[in-house]
Amino acid sequence: MVRLADVILDRVVGVLDHPFTYRVPDSLDDDLKVGHWVSVPLGRAEAQGVVQRVYEGEDSPQLKPITGLVLPEPVLTPHLLELADWMSDAYLCYQAQAVRAMVPTSVRQDRSARPQVLWYRTVGTRVGRPSLKQTVFEYIAQHGPVDRRTVLDVFPNAGAALRALVAEEALEVLTRVPERDFQASASPALTPDQEVVLATIRSARETSWLLEGVTGSGKTEVYLSLIQDALRDGKQALALLPEIALTPQTVSRFRERFGNHVAVWHSGLSAGERRLTWEAVRAHEVSVVVGARSAVFLPFDSLGLIVLDEEHEPSYKQDEHPRYHTRDVALKRGQQEGARVILGSATPSLETRFAADSGSIGYVRLPSRVLGRPLPTVEVVDMREELRAGNRDIFSGTLKHALEETLAAREQAILFLNRRGFATFVLCRSCGQAVECPQCSVSMTFHQRENQLLCHYCERTAAVPTQCPECGSDKIRHFGAGTERVVDEVARLFPEARIVRADRDTLTRPQDYADLYYQFFRGEADVLVGTQMIAKGMDFPRVTLVGVVAADTALHLPDFRSAERTFQLLVQAGGRSGRSERGGRVVVQTYNPDHYAVQWAAEHDYGHFYQDEILYRQATGYPPFTDLWLLVLEGADLDEVRRDADAVARELRQSGLDEQVLGPAPAPLAKVRGHFRFHVLIKQDRGRGESDISTRLRDLQARRPGINITRDPYFMM
Ligand code: ADP
Ligand code: ZN
Ligand code: ZN
């Protein structure tokens, strides 16, 4: 018998997608652990991979020895290895893809010594004339131990000042924060509702919960209390936020409460910062991580709590391999680690609320805003009436008047557009034709500043036509309301108003959010015009009016979640209004005032919306009653793609599936970048136990690697 190790190779190739067995050389016998990143021979080449299993077994001449350790410490915990295995099954990805999602490239590839995190703490007091040195000293004195990076973020030129302060022994340098320096800022006295929620969670056997609470009901305060519980037990805590909600404000609330024990994890980190944070989590040097979805894979070894805020957010679904849903991974990980999982939202996903209703997770609610603050009043304006009354503007009389009042009272307003590209397109009023991208089957978007058309799928630009390309008519003009047009309209109506705009064109870096946020927060602008990226998370006390310029642009998308998305966006956008004592109002402009998503959103009534929507899902056989698998086939030759799609659908039907196979059908986005696209949709009833569907799809994928398969798809276009 010899010592053997199974290794998952870091190769994304079908034939290598299983563990390979190697002999453990004597030199590694004592050191090799599960989770180690190693180099191994592969044919005549070298490969790297992660050790999945170490065991005693029969020697054989075919077995080659592991070459060596690439990194001295294991990169994956046994739980994370198990999770990678589960993911590759659940989402049909290679194990190597799951592993790559878990271990950042900078951890796998950077062999240099681990960078040291330095913290500064003041010693005694220091009196000095006003200078950068004195300011830095006072800053650190006030904030307790501060890490070097934070100091340099606040005072970019403070390097020399820090050196001088250390030299005169006014500052002490620490390599980690001593526990006794940790001073939580006090939490406010909790409301009776918050107390009930906490008592329920703390005393129950369930570990996974839906916390449903209207915007501003104090959910975040509940998260903070539960994090405090975890820290008291010597455990770590993870708070997941949708990427765009990683606003400075949210993060600073965690920092205020838990000081330097908080690390932040998002896509804006550099490779070096990523590695530093990853290592600090593994070494248990940070206890709280506030992060975007991939933080769910950080190497915690004593996780006590996972919070998933705004759990309904579609951005929790990863649309590249591995195509995981953060919520499902968080629940799985919570189970593994014995950690509490809290899913929070004002507008829970149908899946989560259904799970709560059927008792598979616990259910707690915060039914009203804290301190008796009222929810904003909502007025629904029927834009068809406006049109009949001769108003062709993008603003109804009601919204114009509300803006006027808000500006006169020196309060702030947010004007919200549901979706960018759909709004401003160029339409011929003679033949009704919109100008489409010749490569992709979507309307091109009109951009006023550059005075040109842009395709948001392939980035092709085109001049604005003066004649219709179809019928030659000159009655061609741009329609709808993009953010730029709304800005211009506000400027025309209210020349004094200071306006800022927030959409994917103006906010490209994480720092842009922070800048915009503070600009508006400090009252340097009166009106914020933006897309759904500003609909949630941000808390502006001076905002008393939210205008939803076009509520129904997402309502008619060919996606079974379109009503749910519309409801969520309306409620979340409305939630930005009246977050202080000033109160607030919401004006919703729509062409579908009778739609249940619009009506229940106007009433802030999630419960009734859920009842209507769940009936629709049951009748049509969509989640949460079924599991969906979406197969997308693409190709440059229309007939060939159609034939392939037919063959795939036929094969799936003939394989004796009980599942329903729908299609093939041309995808709603029937052509992108010159490639034709077809959909095949598989529906499997929930609660019938695991069938062999994933085995069969895996087999299909191995034979036809071009097919793009997504379980639980969120992007149905
Ligand atoms: P949510 O996360 O549900 O939107 P928050 O936790 O952000 O709600 O609370 C909304 C506002 O009310 C915040 O400004 C918060 O500081 C404040 N708040 C929350 N709980 C309390 C409390 N118990 N006492 C006083 N203010 C509170
Ligand atoms: Zn025309
Ligand atoms: Zn295009």
Sign of CA dihedral 177, 179, 180, 181: positive
Instruction: Based on the fold, state whether residues 261 and 157 are members of the same structural domain.
Output: no
Instruction: Based on the fold, state whether residues 209 and 357 are members of the same structural domain.
Output: yes
Task: Using the mean position of ligand 3's atoms as its centre, give its distance from the Cα of residue 510 in Å.
Answer: 27
pLDDT at 320: 85
Domain membership flag for residue 476:
no
Domain membership flag for residue 20:
yes
90-140 pLDDT, tens digit per residue, is 898 899 999 999 998 888 876 665 556 678 888 888 888 888 888 889 888
In this prediction the pTM is 0.83
Residue 153 has pLDDT above 80, yes or no: no
Most confident range (mean pLDDT) of 316-325, 516-525, 553-562 is 316-325
Domain membership flag for residue 461:
no
Instruction: Based on the fold, state whether residues 602 and 670 are members of the same structural domain.
Output: no
DSSP letters of 331-377?
A: HHHHHHHT-EEEEEESS--HHHHHHHHTTSSEEEEE-S-GGGPPPPE
Q: Do 28 and 68 touch, CB atoms closer than 8 A?
A: yes
Last residue of a domain, one of 589, 616, 643: 616
Q: How far is 238 from 227, CA to CA, in rounded Å?
A: 8
CATH, residue 382 = 3.40.50.300
**Interior angle at CA 140, CA 138 and CA 144, nearest 5:** 125
Q: Is 634 helix (H, G, I), strand (E, B) or coil?
A: strand
Residues measured by CB to lie within 5 Å of ligand 2, the ion:
428, 430-431, 433, 468, 470-471, 473
CA of residue 331 relative to chain centroid, distance: 16
Last residue of a domain, one of 565, 587, 616: 616
Task: Using the mean position of ligand 2's atoms as its centre, give its distance from the Cα of residue 21 in Å.
Answer: 66
CATH, residue 646 = 3.30.70
Query: What is the position in ligand 1's atom list of the atom closest to the CA of 222?
Result: 6
Pocket residues: Cβ below 6 A from ligand 1? 188, 190-191, 194, 213, 215-221, 370-371
Instruction: Based on the fold, state whether residues 386 and 365 are members of the same structural domain.
Output: no
Please, what is the angle between helix 326-337 and helix 78-90, to 10°?
140
Q: Which residue's alpha carbon is nearest to atom 23 within ligand 1?
A: 190
**Interior angle at CA 343, CA 339 and CA 346, nearest 5:** 160
Instruction: Based on the fold, state whether residues 408 and 542 are members of the same structural domain.
Output: yes
pLDDT at 152: 76
Domain membership flag for residue 716:
no
Most confident range (mean pLDDT) of 222-236, 444-458, 561-575, 647-661 is 222-236
Domain membership flag for residue 436:
no
Polymer length in residues for the chain: 717
- Name the nearest CA neighbour of 480 among 437, 435, 522, 430: 435
Query: What is the position in ligand 1's atom list of the atom closest to the CA of 369?
Result: 10
Q: How far is 33 from 81, CA to CA, in rounded Å?
A: 12
571-605 pLDDT, tens digit per residue, is 888 887 776 667 789 999 988 888 899 999 999 99
40-69 pLDDT, tens digit per residue, is 999 889 999 999 999 999 989 889 999 999
- Name the nearest CA neighbour of 484 among 450, 515, 458: 450
Q: How far is 406 from 546, CA to CA, in rounded Å?
A: 10
Residue 180 has pLDDT above 60, yes or no: no
Instruction: Based on the fold, state whether residues 286 and 165 are members of the same structural domain.
Output: no
- Locate 408 and state its tokens: 């006169």
Query: What is the position in ligand 1's atom list of the atom closest to the CA of 346?
Result: 3
More confident residue, 223 or 474: 223
Q: Is 288 helix (H, G, I), strand (E, B) or coil?
A: strand
Give long-range contacts, CB 8 A cutoff, 24+ apart: 619-624. 620/560, 621/660, 621/683, 621/685, 622/560, 622/683, 623/350, 623/351, 623/560, 623/686, 623/712, 624/350, 624/351, 624/354, 624/355, 624/686
- Out of 212, 370, 582, mutate this one to test ligand 1's pocket (max ligand atoms within 8 Å of CB): namely 370
pLDDT at 113: 59
Task: Using the mean position of ligand 2's atoms as its centre, give its distance from the Cα of residue 411 in Å.
Answer: 44
The residue-averaged pLDDT of 305-324 equals: 92
Task: Using the mean position of ligand 2's atoms as its centre, give its distance from the Cα of residue 426 in Å.
Answer: 11
The percentage of the chain sitting over the pLDDT mark of 90, rounded to a whole number, equals: 41
Number of domains within the chain: 5
More confident residue, 468 or 297: 297
Domain membership flag for residue 674:
yes
Q: Do 520 and 500 touch, CB atoms closer than 8 A?
A: yes
pLDDT at 85: 93
Spatial neighbors of 112 by CB under 8 A, at least 6 apart, are none
Instruction: Based on the fold, state whether residues 216 and 347 are members of the same structural domain.
Output: yes
Spatial neighbors of 615 by CB under 8 A, at least 6 apart, are none
Task: Using the mean position of ligand 2's atoms as its centre, give its distance from the Cα of residue 495 in Å.
Answer: 36
pLDDT at 421: 39
Residue 606 has pLDDT above 60, yes or no: yes
Average pLDDT, rounded, for the chain:
85
Domain membership flag for residue 183:
no
Residue 645 has pLDDT above 70, yes or no: yes
Q: 409: domain range?
A: 373-422+481-616
pLDDT at 422: 41
Instruction: Based on the fold, state whether residues 611 and 671 are members of the same structural domain.
Output: no
Q: How far is 54 from 69, CA to CA, in rounded Å?
A: 14
The residue-averaged pLDDT of 530-538 equals: 70
Instruction: Based on the fold, state whether residues 356 and 381 are members of the same structural domain.
Output: no
Domain membership flag for residue 352:
yes
More confident residue, 53 or 15: 53
- Out of 196, 221, 577, 582, mutate this one to test ligand 1's pocket (max ligand atoms within 8 Å of CB): namely 221
Q: Which residue's alpha carbon is nearest to atom 10 within ligand 1?
A: 216
Residue 479 has pLDDT above 70, yes or no: no
Q: Do 279 and 115 touch, CB atoms closer than 8 A?
A: no
Q: How far is 288 from 236, CA to CA, in rounded Å?
A: 6
Q: How far is 276 from 515, CA to CA, in rounded Å?
A: 25
pLDDT at 556: 66
Instruction: Based on the fold, state whether residues 601 and 510 are members of the same structural domain.
Output: yes
